[in-house]
Homo-oligomer: A and B are copies of this chain.
Amino acid sequence: MEPLDSQVGFLLEADRLKTVLRQSTLTDRSRRENSAEHSWHLALMALVLAGHAPPGTDLARVMAMVVLHDLVEIDAGDLFAYAAPAEQARQEQAERAAADRLFALLPTAQAASLQELWEEFEERATAEAKFARALDRLQPMLINMVTEGGTWAAHGVTADQVLTRVALIEDGSPALGAYARAMVGSALDRGILAPSRGS
């Protein structure tokens, strides 16, 4: 098969990400957000918030990672960020299998290099992966702030749980982490986020 034929096959298969629904809604609350438009939102965030990445961060690699990072949900579906550890482990396994299937649709050398980028994102070891993951954590928080608590309210997520994710944002970008920490404070003040379970 010609490289372009397999690349087009991959791109048409990727279209299915538009049908994978997340827990978050749009800011106008008209419907749930899908993982393809969420990925676009992260790419726009990478572009606009680039100045808050640590010096030397390769923004092209960040953009590539956020565009690719959710493709595995075509097979594995989206799991809510605050799901139980056992569910997270099952999800991780399903996503690895999905990555093996999906990237193999591409010409061999390209399959390897894009799957490596996806794994880099998952492993969160490089500056680029940490920044990309920070954006992925920050985006639903921004939506929750303008939708009266959004998924926090819908799923009874508490501030101490959210602050665990804020630590991951700080790890990718001190400036975005500080911004997220201030948002949690403001969400508590406004009563759209509960302090902790039972409180």
Contact = CB atoms under 8 A, between A and B. Distances in A.
A112 interface: no
Given A47-B64, A114-B47, A8 B142 contact: yes
A26 interface: yes
Bin the interface of chain A by size: 35 or more
Contact of A45 (B11, B41, B59): B11
A11 B41 contact: yes
A43 B16 contact: no
Given A36-B37, A36-B40, A48 B15 contact: no
A179 interface: yes
Interface string A48-63: 1101100000011001
Nearest to A146: B12
Given A40-B36, A40-B43, A47-B114, A12 B142 contact: yes
A26 B17 CA distance: 10
Interface of A: 3-4, 7-8, 10-12, 14-19, 26-28, 30, 33-34, 36-37, 39-41, 43-45, 47-49, 51-52, 59-60, 63-64, 67-68, 106, 110, 114, 142-143, 146, 175-176, 179
Given A4-B175, A12-B142, A143-B15, A67 B40 contact: yes
A34 B33 CA distance: 11
B37 A30 contact: no
Contacts of A26: 15, 18-19
Contacts of A11: 41, 44-45, 48-49, 142
A27 B12 CA distance: 7
Given A11-B49, A16-B27, 13 more contacts: A4-B49, A11-B48, A12-B27, A14-B41, A15-B28, A15-B41, A36-B40, A47-B64, A47-B114, A48-B110, A48-B114, A60-B60, A60-B63
